[in-house]
């Protein structure tokens, strides 16, 4: 044990990390990524070791932001630093690496250590890699789902709570903002927690934030759902699945997406809000996350089976993921599409898909007979019920319930990209279209993105508009147009820039 003077560092690491001088580390016999226990008065915290020769002097210990929060009030005070043993969960990670199946108590131990920052980046990365290489049985997936759920803060909304989820990969796919008001308008509860974009031009939370604030406390969310039956809020503002957030932090840079972790991540969050009925949207097609329909069906069966094991009724829809949905791509443009759709003027592919999903939920809860759900959802939309309910949700979340499509601010700089050739459009690549919209500034700049003017299968002629790009600045617009001219975004004769307005 050593007694070291604390030094607060204004550095965030995403986990509990301390900085030791190499001489002090040698005296403690600890190395990079080892663990230490910090004690300051009655406060105690386990942290991962980083080493430095100059960042802290001998006799000092540097505390990163995540540690400061846990032992606030200890700035400048002497802290006891004890060597910590490796957690037992490390043995379970090795067990998984060897190909063995993990039991519930073993998964619980791993997830507990993930949440409490007792695993180093190397150990957590090994857990993700082992999961990717060895795969999970359905029992292991259920164990991981339960472990993630148990370490979060669940919200109780009572009975008959419904939800939906899309596995992603399709640009413009903002069906949630139509499904939620359709479902809530018939008296069902739909507390929708959604993510911000990680790799796309807009996440559901990014788009909803154009219409209303999405960061709310658990107490406020409960109040909103009690009053209007639904909400569309950002998952990151509530502590539903902290373990999942930490695992994603490692999965993303490694580009590893173990199927068992994908299933557990989604279903743990559904369980955390007390979902009784969930519909999963699985887009399939060229350019989507899943290209083969049989793979899509297999994933759907696993969602349904996992739901049975954790007490949630699940159904899945295999949908067309071969091209973007709707017209607008980017938060503001997608929010405009939603308001138009609620008024019966929106993109028909977006409306049709939303009614498919909402219809399935209406059938699952017994509000509609089998095969009649989509027609009921469409009628709710046509009648204006969904529009009125969405405005109630917007108002409850602190937005302007009288907002009109034309009130939404779109990037002032724009350019129309036209076809260089005549022919039939074979394919519009989701990933390439997303790259152009992101280069224009989406989703950070909510007003940026693009409007698609064509879809797969359409005939076009030389000079026909393919899409319009919007940006906040001429510089961002030019960057997006340069990229558009380099990429085969539409498999036709090519694309050209007409003008910058």
The enclosing domain of 108 has a CATH number of 1.20.970.10
Predicted local confidence at residue 490, as pLDDT: 54
Cα 42 to its chain centre, rounded Å, is 37
Per annotation, catalytic residue among 257, 315, 320, 464: 257
Predicted local confidence at residue 488, as pLDDT: 57
Same domain, 33 and 64: yes
Predicted local confidence at residue 414, as pLDDT: 96
Residues 6+ apart with CB under 8 A from 433: 171, 324, 329, 450, 452, 467, 489
What backbone torsions phi and psi does residue 303 show, to the nearest 5 degrees?
-60, -45
Same domain, 121 and 223: no
Predicted local confidence at residue 127, as pLDDT: 95
The pTM (predicted TM-score) of the whole model is: 0.88
Predicted local confidence at residue 501, as pLDDT: 42
Q: What percent of the chain has pLDDT over 70?
A: 97
Q: Which of 29-33, 61-65, 96-100, 193-197 has the highest mean pLDDT?
A: 96-100
Same domain, 364 and 422: no
Q: Which of 59-63, 258-262, 307-311, 320-324 has the highest mean pLDDT?
A: 307-311
Predicted local confidence at residue 76, as pLDDT: 83
pLDDT class of 136 with cuts at 50, 70, 90: very high
| pLDDT higher than 70, residue 497 | no
Same domain, 371 and 443: no
Predicted local confidence at residue 252, as pLDDT: 73
Is residue 251 situated within a structural domain? Answer: no
Q: Cα–Cα distance between 449 and 202 in angstroms, integer?
A: 9
* Containing structural domain, residue 49: 2-83
The enclosing domain of 184 has a CATH number of 3.40.1030.10
Q: What percent of the chain has pLDDT over 90?
A: 71
Number of separate domains in the chain: 4
Q: Cα–Cα distance between 270 and 284 in angstroms, integer?
A: 22
Same domain, 32 and 64: yes
Is residue 142 situated within a structural domain? Answer: no
Is residue 140 situated within a structural domain? Answer: no
Predicted local confidence at residue 260, as pLDDT: 94
User: Catalytic site residue 257?
Assistant: yes
Same domain, 391 and 337: yes
pLDDT class of 422 with cuts at 50, 70, 90: confident
Same domain, 296 and 211: yes
Burial of 5 per CB tally in 10 Å (0-12, 13-18, 19+): middle
383-413 tens-digit pLDDT: 999 999 999 999 999 999 999 999 999 999 9
Across 146-155, 347-356, 420-429, 471-480, least confident range: 420-429
Same domain, 182 and 61: no
Show the tokens assigned to 93.
Answer: 């990670």
Q: Cα–Cα distance between 461 and 464 in angstroms, integer?
A: 6
275-330 tens-digit pLDDT: 999 999 999 998 788 989 999 999 999 999 999 999 999 999 999 998 999 999 99
The average pLDDT across 452-481 equals 92
pLDDT class of 496 with cuts at 50, 70, 90: very low
Same domain, 187 and 307: yes
Same domain, 227 and 311: yes
The enclosing domain of 432 has a CATH number of 3.90.1170.30
Q: What is the dihedral of CA 418, 422, 426, 428, to 10 degrees?
A: 0
Q: Cα–Cα distance between 179 and 164 in angstroms, integer?
A: 8
Is residue 116 situated within a structural domain? Answer: yes
Is residue 311 situated within a structural domain? Answer: yes
Is residue 100 situated within a structural domain? Answer: yes
Same domain, 337 and 198: yes
Is residue 146 situated within a structural domain? Answer: no
Average pLDDT in the chain: 91
Is residue 175 situated within a structural domain? Answer: yes
Same domain, 73 and 98: no
The enclosing domain of 54 has a CATH number of 2.40.40.20
pLDDT class of 74 with cuts at 50, 70, 90: confident
């Amino acid at each position: 044990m050593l007694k070291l003077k604390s030094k607060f560092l204004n550095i965030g690491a995403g986990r509990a990390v301390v900085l030791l001088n190499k001489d002090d580390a040698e005296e403690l016999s600890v190395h990079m990524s080892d663990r230490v226990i910090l004690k300051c008065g009655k406060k105690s915290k386990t942290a991962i070791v980083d080493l430095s020769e100059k960042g802290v002097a001998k006799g000092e210990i540097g505390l990163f932001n995540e540690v400061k929060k846990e032992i606030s009030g200890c700035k400048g005070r002497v802290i006891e630093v004890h060597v910590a043993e490796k957690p037992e969960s490390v043995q379970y990670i090795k067990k998984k690496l060897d190909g063995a199946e993990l039991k519930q108590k073993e998964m619980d131990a791993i997830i507990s250590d993930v949440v409490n920052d007792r695993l180093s980046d190397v150990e957590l990365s090994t857990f993700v890699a082992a999961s990717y290489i060895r795969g999970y049985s359905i029992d292991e997936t259920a164990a991981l789902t339960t472990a993630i759920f148990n370490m979060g803060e669940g919200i109780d909304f009572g009975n008959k709570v419904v939800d939906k989820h899309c596995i992603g990969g399709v640009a413009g796919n903002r069906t949630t903002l139509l499904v939620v008001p359709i479902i809530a308008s018939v008296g069902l509860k739909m507390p929708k927690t959604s993510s911000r974009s990680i790799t796309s031009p807009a996440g559901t939370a990014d788009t909803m934030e154009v219409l209303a604030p999405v960061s709310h406390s658990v107490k406020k969310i409960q109040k909103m759902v009690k009053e209007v039956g639904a909400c569309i809020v950002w998952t990151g503002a509530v502590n539903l699945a902290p373990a999942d957030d930490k695992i994603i932090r490692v999965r993303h840079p490694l580009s590893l997406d173990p199927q068992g972790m994908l299933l557990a991540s989604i279903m743990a969050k559904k369980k955390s809000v007390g979902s009784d009925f969930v519909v999963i949207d699985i887009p399939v097609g060229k350019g989507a996350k899943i290209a083969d329909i049989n793979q899509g069906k297999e994933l759907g069966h696993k969602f349904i089976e996992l739901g049975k094991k954790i007490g949630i009724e699940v159904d899945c829809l295999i949908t067309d993921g071969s091209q973007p949905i709707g017209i607008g791509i980017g938060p503001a443009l997608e929010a405009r599409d939603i308001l138009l759709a609620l008024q019966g003027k929106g993109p028909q592919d977006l409306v049709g898909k939303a009614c498919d999903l909402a219809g399935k939920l209406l059938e699952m809860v017994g509000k509609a007979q089998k095969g009649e759900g989509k027609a009921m959802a469409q009628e709710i939309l046509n009648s204006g019920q969904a529009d009125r309910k969405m405005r109630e949700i917007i108002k409850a979340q602190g937005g302007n319930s009288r907002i009109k499509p034309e009130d939404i601010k779109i990037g002032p700089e724009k350019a129309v990209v036209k076809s260089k050739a005549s022919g039939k459009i074979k394919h519009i690549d989701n990933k390439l279209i997303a790259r152009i919209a992101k280069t224009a500034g989406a989703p950070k700049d909510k007003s940026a993105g693009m409007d698609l003017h064509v879809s797969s299968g359409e005939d076009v002629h030389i000079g026909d508009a393919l899409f319009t790009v919007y940006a906040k600045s001429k510089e961002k617009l030019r960057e997006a147009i340069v990229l558009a001219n380099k990429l085969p975004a539409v498999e036709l004769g090519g694309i050209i820039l007409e003008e910058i307005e």
